[in-house]
Amino acid sequence: MPNNSGSPVMLVVVILVCALVLTGMNMWSEPIVEERELEEHLEALEGFFAGAADYEEVEIDGITFEEVYDEDGEFLGAVASYSVEGYSDYIYYRLAISGEGEIRGIEIDDHDETPDIGGVIEEPEFQEQFEGMPCKEPEDVRDLDVVTGATKSTEPIIKSAGDVVEAFCNEYMD
Amino acid sequence: MSNSYLQEAWKGVGRENPVLRLVLGLCPILGVSAYLVNGLGMGIAVTVVLICSNLVISLVRGYISHKYRLAVFLIVVATFVTAVDMVMNVYQPDLREALGVFLPLMAVNCVVLTRAEVFASNQPVGRSIMDGLGMGIGFTVALLLLSGIREILGTGSITAVNAVLVEDIFGTNYEPIRMLEEPFGAFIALGLLLALVNAFSRKQNLA
């Protein structure tokens, strides 16, 4: 029979027990998940820098960079995470610059551009032009080829890549 | 005794299938049924949560005051959902990412909460466990049916098994019904499925 007297004692007991159970489970699962996420992140970084073993997040001129180190602690380079407004929505990309100041590559993480039009940003023909560009000449980066018919998708990436490269040089190259 | 326990479970699969007969929990069904493997994963998760929450709620049913029963149900269910979420994060992170927001949404899943309110809160523990099991299996069966239709007819293959087996059945000229992979295709497929089940139950006079 339902008890209408309204004593919250059982509710409190249930809350406490549930809180304890969840705390315990979190203590068990958190280290495992953190380790796995670290490994996955390092794997992603290895795509740009072979032998990546450690990374550290820093902020330079308002841009988020991840400094990448190998297992001896040597600075391999840095990867910037950036987002720009594309044609339909924001485009999230990562730009990797080596310790010598050259662009290693660009990777588009997320975008909402039209597949056959703005989607060209995922194609090698667009991405390859970044490779090897020196950070000392940000204007050369900003002058890279925009893709006709996909200006609103490609131009913001190119222009912002110039800013990223400039920030990197200012910070890491003398 | 065990005969009636089995009946308690069996009703959830067939006569009182929560999705196809009681028409509960349609939101996650639609959201997760694009791929068979996602459907299976979600079904297992819901079954685990159902059994556990039914068990606990049935255990404390004598002590919960009527005024706070909904709060107790929600907390118990949410705790088990969070626990399942953590376990999945450790052992099946890819599946967990595929299920996305629908995994935590189990906390307010109609099937789970309704069984807690209607059954577990006034039935003994044994029956409640069986009810949770049956409802969970019934939910999974419905989900597999819908996912099967959507993935096999919608893409022509089952990604999980890496098999383009439909080509063997229908021949390589099979043009996949792309609409089924979209949300509105899910609605239509589910509607047709429900209509089929309705017609079948009328014939069997199940009301």
* pLDDT per position as a tens digit, B47-88: 999 999 999 999 988 888 888 889 999 999 999 999 999 999
CB contact under 8 Å between B90 and A7, yes or no, is no
Given the structure tokens 């991840």, which residue do they identify? A66
Residue B166 in any domain: the answer is: no
Q: How many domains does chain A fold into?
A: 1
For an interface test with B, the pick among A14, A26, A29, A40 (most B C-beta atoms closer than 10 Å) comes out as A14
Residue A79 in any domain: the answer is: yes
Contact assessment for residue B150 and residue B185, using Cβ atoms and an 8 Å cutoff: yes
Average pLDDT over residues A92-111: 90
Residue B25 in any domain: the answer is: yes
Residue A15 in any domain: the answer is: no
How distant is the Cα of B174 from the closest Cα of chain A, in angstroms?
Answer: 24
From the list A3, A18, A26, which residue is nearest B65 (CB)?
Answer: A3
Residue B114 in any domain: the answer is: yes
Residue A2 in any domain: the answer is: no
Distance of CA B111 to CAs A11, A57, B40, B54, B115, Å? 22, 44, 17, 11, 6
In DSSP terms, which residues pair with A102 in a beta bridge? A134
Question: Coil, strand, or helix at residue B63?
Answer: coil
Q: How many domains does chain B fold into?
A: 1
Average pLDDT over residues B125-141: 91
B113 contact partners, CB below 8 Å, separation of at least 6: B73, B74, B77
From the list B67, B82, B93, which residue is nearest A6 (CB)?
Answer: B67
Residue B182 in any domain: the answer is: no
CA dist B32 and B38 (Å) reads 6
Contact assessment for residue B205 and residue B31, using Cβ atoms and an 8 Å cutoff: no
**Best-predicted range by mean pLDDT (A24-38, A40-54, B114-128, B150-164):** A24-38
Report the pLDDT value the prediction gives residue B144, as an integer from 0 to 100. Answer: 92
CA dist A39 and A78 (Å) reads 18
Is pLDDT above 70 for A140?
A: yes
Report the pLDDT value the prediction gives residue A10, as an integer from 0 to 100. Answer: 85
Report the pLDDT value the prediction gives residue B3, as an integer from 0 to 100. Answer: 61
Report the pLDDT value the prediction gives residue B1, as an integer from 0 to 100. Answer: 46
Report the pLDDT value the prediction gives residue B79, as an integer from 0 to 100. Answer: 96
Residues of A in contact with B69 (CB under 8 A): 2
CB contact under 8 Å between B79 and A7, yes or no, is no
Residue ranges making up the domain that contains B93: 2-146
Phi, psi of A12 (to 5 degrees): -65, -45
Residue ranges making up the domain that contains A55: 47-172
Q: Is A115 or A84 the better-scoring residue by pLDDT?
A: A84
Residue A23 in any domain: the answer is: no
From the list B65, B75, B86, which residue is nearest A29 (CB)?
Answer: B86
Residue A167 in any domain: the answer is: yes
CA dist B58 and A16 (Å) reads 18
Is pLDDT above 80 for B169?
A: no
Residue A7 in any domain: the answer is: no
| B91 interfacial to chain A (CB closer than 8 Å) | no
What is the CA angle B83-B87-B90, rounded to 5?
145
B33 contact partners, CB below 8 Å, separation of at least 6: B39, B143, B146, B147, B150, B186
Quote the mean pLDDT of chain B: 86
Q: Is B64 or B44 the better-scoring residue by pLDDT?
A: B44
- A128-137, B63-72, B94-103, B163-172: lowest mean pLDDT where? B163-172
Q: Which of residues 49-68 of B touch A (CB under 8 A)?
A: 60, 63-68
pTM exceeds 0.90, yes or no: no
Report the pLDDT value the prediction gives residue B180, as an integer from 0 to 100. Answer: 84
A–B: how many Cβ contacts below 8 A?
A: 58
Residue A59 in any domain: the answer is: yes
At residue A5 the predicted structure's pLDDT band, cuts being 50, 70 and 90, is low
CA dist B104 and B179 (Å) reads 27
Contact assessment for residue B12 and residue B114, using Cβ atoms and an 8 Å cutoff: no
A34-55: b (≥16 Cβ within 10 Å) or e: eeeeeeeeeebbeebbeebbeb
Phi, psi of B97 (to 5 degrees): -70, -35
